[in-house]
Amino acid sequence: MSKKNKSFYVCNNCGYQSLRWLGKCPECSTWGSLEEQIIKKQSAHSAAGQSAAKLIPLNEKQNLSEKRIPTGINELDRVLGGGIVSGSIVMVGGDPGIGKSTIMLQMLDKMKDVDKKVYISGEESLSQIQQRARRLQITGQNIFFVNDTNLETILAALEKEKPGVVVIDSIQTIASENIDGIPGNSSQLRYCTAHLVQTAKQNQISIFLVGHVTKDGAIAGPKILEHIVDTVLYFEGDNQVDYRILRSTKNRFGAVNEIALFQMEKNGLIPVANPSEIFLNTDQNDRQGTAVVAVMEGNRPMLVEVQALVAKTQFGIPQRTATGIEHRRMNLLLAVLEKKCAKPFSFYDVFLKTAAGLKLDEPATDLGICMALISSMDELILANTTVYIGEVGLNGELRPVSRLQERINEAVKLGFKRIVIPKSKNRYQATSANIQIISRLQEIVN
């Protein structure tokens, strides 16, 4: 290594930087994750010879219209913010076998108006892709296949052919001859992604990068890639169930945390138009410990069932288990119920879960969670036509939630007759449902 060059070490899991190599990352406690990065120094003479960057006034008139390309899949268009923006870079991550390659092939096939679409695979051969395409009943019109992992040859092909949409499956298999290290390390990921972004912007090519995930469920090299790309989509779900959630965690051209719901079938991923029907089971007769809450996923209101099981503990310390609900939030609500509503949860085991394991991190679900807990403890049957909306404070008071009208409209559309909400200054339109307004948790619990 030249004396003019300096090196430092970067954690490929969290992005932590160190001047020396460490066996364990001090930031994320991952072993063997620090990799050497080399910075080539530029001489003062060469730097002085560079031309200055052009300054453009911010108020200068420009063509601000964004050209969007429909994917042909309404749920995917929703997550992307209305379609694919020309020249954008989209990262798609998820567990192996969850459906990343499937949705990408389906998307390319549905985009009939794009003259040239390219699928670049560094993991599978042409015969493997063709077998999957036949199973998914994909016509393959205007879709071209490339089996290459060399960045330079891929960039040359893109600049020559100038396709409309490109899928690279996966970015961890692409490597450049100009960077030392194996494919997938932090140096290769940063270098390859940066050059793909530059090519996409200059030639107005929309590129989808399929990314692997780490053991913690994050895209490999998240701090390196997520700030480079325009949009980051995560596939959530379990291989044991048929439903997949595609969530937007970053989007420069649309709303963040927007979700799309798909059902995995033999012909591929089928969009689910009404997700609320998936997370509800209104035909159930025994409604002990089951309450319905209204949540907002991006711009979409959804109704979800919360189930609770409360049983007397057989040991000195009661068990606390939550699936889809943060454990600390469950403990907080249990403490409020015990302190303000005189419910002795200290002597009971508590188990909480959401329908299909959907993660609920919104305060608006507090009231529904409390009602499910009380229903299970006191063996009360909650009506399957009631929705609970409200945040619970530490003193047992109910606080208003955002976008209340949209939640109410969704409940009415699905046929719910009674909606319990907190007192709010925000007005809502009258509906056919019975609206019950309460200000404290004790009013409905006791």
pLDDT tens figures, 144-184: 999 999 999 999 999 999 999 999 998 989 999 888 778 88
Confidence of residue 342 (pLDDT cuts 50, 70, 90): very high
Token duo for residue 229? 């790309």
pLDDT of 208 strictly over 50 = yes
Is 314 found in the same domain as 229? no
Q: State residue 167 phi and psi, 5-degree precision.
A: -115, 125
Q: pLDDT value at position 190?
A: 86
Q: How far apart are CA 229 and CA 251, in angstroms?
A: 9
Q: pLDDT value at position 164?
A: 94
Q: How confident is the model over 82-109, as pLDDT tens digits? A: 999 999 999 998 888 889 999 999 999 9
CATH of the domain at 429: 3.30.230.10
Q: What percent of the chain lies above the pLDDT cut of 90?
A: 54
Token duo for residue 21? 């190599």
Q: How far apart are CA 191 and CA 174, in angstroms?
A: 10
Which segments of 122-267 are extended strands (E)? 143-146, 165-169, 206-211, 231-237, 243-251, 259-265
Confidence of residue 284 (pLDDT cuts 50, 70, 90): low
Q: pLDDT value at position 300?
A: 86
Question: What is the phi-psi region of residue 199: left when phi exceeds 0, alpha when psi lies from -120 to 50, beta otherwise?
Answer: alpha
Lowest mean pLDDT among 1-5, 31-35, 287-291, 292-296: 1-5
Is 188 found in the same domain as 138? yes
Residues 93, 108, 241, 231: is their CA dihedral positive or negative?
positive
**In this structure, are residues 216 and 252 in contact, taking their beta carbons and an 8 Å threshold?**
no
Domain assignment of residue 373, given as a range: 290-445
Average pLDDT over residues 78-85: 92
Is 368 found in the same domain as 312? yes
Is 241 found in the same domain as 94? yes
Of the candidates 320, 295, 321, 290, which has an alpha carbon nearest to the alpha carbon of residue 306? 290
Q: How far apart are CA 133 and CA 387, in angstroms?
A: 43
Token look-up 């909606």 returns 419
Is 341 found in the same domain as 218? no
**In this structure, are residues 207 and 71 in contact, taking their beta carbons and an 8 Å threshold?**
no
Token duo for residue 255? 């709303």
Token look-up 């439903």 returns 243
Could you tell me if residue 284 is inside a domain?
Answer: no
**In this structure, are residues 72 and 53 in contact, taking their beta carbons and an 8 Å threshold?**
no
Q: State residue 25 phi and psi, 5-degree precision.
A: -70, 125
- At residue 386, the 3 state secondary structure works out as strand
Lowest mean pLDDT among 193-207, 210-224, 384-398: 210-224
Token duo for residue 418? 């009674």
Could you tell me if residue 417 is inside a domain?
Answer: yes
Q: Identify the DSSP state of 54.
A: P
Determine whether 378 is exposed, middle or buried from the number of CB atoms within 10 Å of its CB (0-12, 13-18, 19+).
exposed
Is 262 found in the same domain as 144? yes
Is 313 found in the same domain as 189? no
Average pLDDT over residues 60-89: 86
Is 238 found in the same domain as 142? yes
Q: Identify the DSSP state of 363.
A: G
pLDDT of 2 strictly over 60 = no
Give the count of domains, the chain. Answer: 3
Q: How far apart are CA 422 and CA 37, in angstroms?
A: 55
pLDDT of 310 strictly over 90 = yes
Determine whether 32 is exposed, middle or buried from the number of CB atoms within 10 Å of its CB (0-12, 13-18, 19+).
exposed
pLDDT of 329 strictly over 90 = yes
Could you tell me if residue 60 is inside a domain?
Answer: no
Is 135 found in the same domain as 31? no
Angle at 443 between CA 442 and CA 446, to 5 degrees: 60
Average pLDDT over residues 325-347: 95
CA atoms within 13 A on the CB side of 303: 26
Could you tell me if residue 61 is inside a domain?
Answer: no
Confidence of residue 1 (pLDDT cuts 50, 70, 90): very low
Q: pLDDT value at position 39?
A: 63
Tell me the Cα Rg of the chain.
26
pLDDT of 45 strictly over 80 = no
Average pLDDT over residues 371-400: 94
